[in-house]
Amino acid sequence: MSAAHDHHHGPAKGLSRWLYTTNHKDIGSLYLWFSFAMFLLGGTFALVIRAELFQPGLQFVEPNFFNQMTTMHGLVMVFGAVMPAFVGLANWMIPLMIGAPDMALPRMNNWSFWILPFAFAMMVSTMFMEGGGPNFGWTFYAPLSTTYAPPSTTFFIFAVHIMGASSIMGSINVIATILNMRAPGMTLMKMPLFVWTWLITAYLLIAVMPVLAGVVTMMLFDIHFGTSFFNAAGGGDPVLFQHLFWFFGHPEVNIMILHAFGVVSAIIPTFARKRLFGYDSMVYATASIAFLSFIVWAHHMFTVGMPLAGQLFFMYATMLIAVPTGVKVFNWVATMFRGAMTFETPMLFAIAFVVLFTIGGFTGVMLAITPVDFQYHDTYFVVAHFHYVLVPGAVFSIMAATYYWLPKWTGYMYDETLGKLHFWLSFIGVNLLFFPQHFLGLAGMPRRIPDYALQFANFNWISSVGGFLFGFSQLILLFVVIKCVKGGKKATDQVWEGAQGLEWTVPSPAPYHTFETPPDPKLIHAQ
């Protein structure tokens, strides 16, 4: 550190450190803690759902409250837990990975985080308003979310606007950082895949978040200003809502999983002690998935009655996604093949990710087949599919990332025994929770219902047990992280024997300011 620059100080003390911080590591931590809190909140909503579905009949909640639970669970998990977690990881790791001193736009970084808690406070507060909170599902199809919505919908719309603004600012920051702040010698094709997936998804976010903002703005106008974007009475069309929503929504779900690909592509080579297989094709596959995600949105709407030609186009385009996704899975397997593997907690989560995400991918191919989708659509089969992709997919990758980089963040090794316990309980729990839902969907159970016919009782019971097991296992993660922050075995700079990359060249814990002078270009290797 150079003494000539007087702004090179350590962190401020107390609350103001966190309120005013422009340090990428502080903001990363804020995002990650916020995401974990939202994960627990959204998880609590999920447990209310699973408790109600534990057996047939209405036991604990009213149907209207149940609908609020499914809606809030989805919104909180997607916008509150998964997205902020990846922004947190980006904040912490992208500057470290590309040898930059900080994010490109530190003040905007602070702002994009601090508007999030307000957005979620506003959204959750709707549940205490007259008529209750949003009860129309996280996809909020019109006219259920416009003409027939509770009065609190206006606040929901503003909350979505704020979340969107936060995401957009985060994405601008990531793009500016990656384009402008790379250390000398860090060419684009030498960047770690996590940086690549973030660069691509940041562009995706910039393309689709404004469309979401547009959709909710149209809702606002329909509700309050008498327009008829989605109301047939005034010449609008409720199906248009779905087209616009999924034009945002499909890239959005791809965004969540592409980040996860980046994380797993960092972890598997480390613990296989072998370079990532097919780095170039990984980059191209990511770009192809991102491109394809723009032309498949209507596969969420196969039952709305599109013309045959439209159905066929969206079916074929959707099936195509399997190709680049397959390339990724094959590359990970090839990376493990003839490596020298060890199975620390991050690796366990990464392997579970590959297997369970692939299962979610398989059901994805099945769902792409339009005529069969008529049977799967809006059933628990779909619920099982996207939860396999998002929970043992995206969420497991976040957990893997947490264990993987925790020693770098805290300077201490986490408790490996507890980490493995957390993994195995989560693994068993998540499969008990979601695997039987495939059977429920195939047997004919629609999604978003608070009560069900008797033939669905068995698997719902099992699913609920799995849900509680998975849910409560997450408290172990909380414990492990707190324990690791407080102390433990000192971590080395490299932490993991097979770890490669700039982030492992700085001390553990990573000092408050890193790479104020660019790293030695000799440290930058091809991935």
Partner 1 sequence: MLSKAKLWLSLALSTLLFWSAGLHAAWDLNMPRGVTQMSRDTYDLHMTIFWWVVAIGVVVFGAMLWSIINHRKSKGVKPATFHESTKVEIVWTLIPFLILIAMAIPATRVLTAAYDTTESELDVQIIGYQWRWEYRYMRDNMDEEEVSFFSVLATSREEINNGVEKTENYLLEVDRPLVIPTNTKVRFLMTSADVIHAWWVPDFAIKKDTIPGFINETWVIVEEPGIYRGQCAELCGMEHGFMPIEVHALAPADFQAWYEEQQAGVRQIRELAAAEMTMADAMAQGEQIYNRNCVACHQPGGVGMPPVFPALVGSAKAIGDTAVTMDTLVNGVPGTAMAAYGRQLNPIELAAIITYVRNGFGNSAGDVVQPADVNAYIQEGQ
Partner 2 sequence: MSNDVAPRNNKTVVRKLLLAVVGMFAFGFALVPLYDVICDLTGLNGKTGGRVAEAEAGLLLDEQRQITVQFMAHHNAEMGWAFEPSVAQITVKPGEVNVVSYRVTNPRTTVMVGQAIPSVAPNAAAAHLNKIECFCFEEQLLQPGESADMPIRFFVDPEIPASITKLTLSYTLYDITEKSNKAQAVAIR
Site for partner 1 in 316-355 (CB under 8 A): 316, 319-320, 322-323, 326-327, 329-331, 333-343, 351, 354-355
| Residue 307 binds to partner 2 (criterion: CB under 8 A) | yes
- Taking the complex as a whole, the smallest distance from the CB of residue 455 to partner 1 amounts, in Å, to 4
Dihedral of CA 40/46/52/53: which sign? negative
Among partner 2, partner 1, none, what binds residue 511 when CB lies within 5 to 8 Å by partner kind?
none
| Residue 358 binds to partner 1 (criterion: CB under 8 A) | yes
Distance between CA atoms of 238 and 495, rounded to whole angstroms? Answer: 54
Sole window of 169-177, 317-325, 392-400, 419-427 interacting with partner 2 (rule: CB under 8 A): 169-177
Alpha carbon distances (Å) from 510 to 96, 151, 464: 9, 48, 41
Among partner 2, partner 1, none, what binds residue 31 when CB lies within 5 to 8 Å by partner kind?
none
CB atoms within 10 A of CB 224: 11
For partner 2, what does the binding mask look like between residues 67 and 106, x meaning CB under 8 A? -------------------------------------xx-
Alpha carbon distances (Å) from 454 to 334, 457, 458: 46, 5, 8
| Residue 452 binds to partner 1 (criterion: CB under 8 A) | yes
Helix (H/G/I), strand (E/B), else coil: 186 = coil
The number of residues making up the chain comes to 527
Distance between CA atoms of 167 and 269, rounded to whole angstroms? Answer: 30
**Contact yes or no for 77/86 (Cβ under 8 A):** no
Distance between CA atoms of 371 and 377, rounded to whole angstroms? Answer: 10
Site for partner 2 in 13-32 (CB under 8 A): none
| Beta-bridge partner residues of 187 | none
Site for partner 1 in 49-68 (CB under 8 A): 54-64, 67
- Taking the complex as a whole, the smallest distance from the CB of residue 148 to partner 2 amounts, in Å, to 10
Residue whose pair of structure tokens reads 């039952």 in the numeric block: 303
Distance between CA atoms of 449 and 188, rounded to whole angstroms? Answer: 48
For partner 2, what does the binding mask look like between residues 100 and 119, x meaning CB under 8 A? ----xx--------------
Site for partner 2 in 200-239 (CB under 8 A): 206-211, 213-215, 218, 226, 229, 232-235, 237, 239
Distance between CA atoms of 152 and 161, rounded to whole angstroms? Answer: 15
Answer left, alpha or beta for residue 43, where phi above 0 means left and psi between -120 and 50 means alpha: alpha
Phi, psi for residue 349 in degrees, rounded to 5: -65, -40
- Taking the complex as a whole, the smallest distance from the CB of residue 185 to partner 2 amounts, in Å, to 10
CB atoms within 10 A of CB 97: 24
Identity of the residue, 14 or 235, whose beta carbon is nearer to partner 2 in the bound complex: 235
Sole window of 299-307, 391-399, 454-462, 479-487 interacting with partner 2 (rule: CB under 8 A): 299-307
| Residue 188 binds to partner 2 (criterion: CB under 8 A) | no
Selected from 3, 4, 15, 233, the binder of partner 1 by CB under 8 A is 233
Distance between CA atoms of 345 and 499, rounded to whole angstroms? Answer: 15
| Residue 190 binds to partner 1 (criterion: CB under 8 A) | no
| Residue 310 binds to partner 1 (criterion: CB under 8 A) | no
| Residue 304 binds to partner 1 (criterion: CB under 8 A) | yes
- Taking the complex as a whole, the smallest distance from the CB of residue 110 to partner 1 amounts, in Å, to 38
| Residue 226 binds to partner 1 (criterion: CB under 8 A) | no
Distance between CA atoms of 198 and 290, rounded to whole angstroms? Answer: 11
| Residue 369 binds to partner 1 (criterion: CB under 8 A) | yes
Q: Any alpha helices (H) in 185-237, and if so which ranges?
A: 193-224
Selected from 24, 250, 274, 300, the binder of partner 1 by CB under 8 A is 274
Identity of the residue, 137 or 214, whose beta carbon is nearer to partner 2 in the bound complex: 214
Count the residues of the shown chain that bind partner 1, applying the rule CB under 8 A.
100
Sole window of 15-23, 142-150, 213-221, 403-411 interacting with partner 1 (rule: CB under 8 A): 142-150
| Residue 313 binds to partner 1 (criterion: CB under 8 A) | no
Site for partner 2 in 500-519 (CB under 8 A): none
- Taking the complex as a whole, the smallest distance from the CB of residue 308 to partner 1 amounts, in Å, to 5
Dihedral of CA 56/60/63/66: which sign? negative
User: 238: cis peptide before it, omega within 30°?
Assistant: no
Identity of the residue, 170 or 467, whose beta carbon is nearer to partner 2 in the bound complex: 170
Selected from 161, 275, 420, 483, the binder of partner 1 by CB under 8 A is 275
Helix (H/G/I), strand (E/B), else coil: 412 = strand
Selected from 359, 406, 502, 524, the binder of partner 1 by CB under 8 A is 359
Distance between CA atoms of 133 and 122, rounded to whole angstroms? Answer: 10
- Taking the complex as a whole, the smallest distance from the CB of residue 162 to partner 1 amounts, in Å, to 25
- Taking the complex as a whole, the smallest distance from the CB of residue 124 to partner 1 amounts, in Å, to 18
Answer left, alpha or beta for residue 448, where phi above 0 means left and psi between -120 and 50 means alpha: left
Helices 380-389 and 416-443, axial angle in degrees (round to 10):
150
CA 524 to chain centre: 29
| Beta-bridge partner residues of 446 | 379
| Residue 303 binds to partner 1 (criterion: CB under 8 A) | yes
| Residue 444 binds to partner 2 (criterion: CB under 8 A) | no
Which residues bind to partner 2, rule: CB under 8 A?
Answer: 104-105, 168, 171-172, 175-176, 179-184, 206-211, 213-215, 218, 226, 229, 232-235, 237, 239-240, 243-244, 247, 305-310
